[in-house]
Amino acid sequence: MTDSTRLAAGDQAPPFTLSDQDGNAVSLADFAGSKVVVYFYPAAMTPGCTKQACDFRDNLSSLASAGYQVLGVSKDAPVKLKKFQETEQLTFALLSDTDLAVHTGYGAWGEKNLYGKTVTGVLRSTVVIDETGMVELALYNVKATGHVASLRKRLGLPA
């Protein structure tokens, strides 16, 4: 599989429908008229991904008060996402993209450097989509630690 094309501000966000942690279909279209933070992470219940998910959880009310909803996307199956949600008390939807179609469409799958080796995998990425379905901000190869604070700053939200 080759690197997917990265999105940029002003691009139309690719539509998607994925299963959430409860097996319910969730579509980007469900959020029309709302701002959405879609973040891609490598694997549920790993240290970095847990830290990042809990960071979003802990900032969810302030993001929501600024009009943003949060969706986490990984290649994990819904049953693993449900366990992750329950273990970490996550209060936002976790979406399963086992065939990597949405990862690829959003530029969150490709080559990366892991411990000095080039591997193909999930690129920790965040795409902010505005009320009209357009990309407001696309960030790639983000760090798990401190990402939400950095995102808030880029979006002009109070610390």
Nearest-5° angle of CA 29, CA 105, CA 31? Answer: 15
**Cα separation, 87 vs 132, whole angstroms:** 34
Give the Å distances, CA to CA, from 48 to 124, 148, 150. 10, 13, 16
Q: Which of 7, 13, 49, 127 is catalytic?
A: 49
Angle between helices 47-65 and 78-88 (to 10 degrees): 70
Judged on CB neighbours under 10 Å (0-12, 13-18, 19+), 52 is buried
Annotated active-site residue 49? The verdict is: yes
Structure tokens that stand for 98 in this block: 């086992």
Instruction: Cite the active site residues.
Output: 49
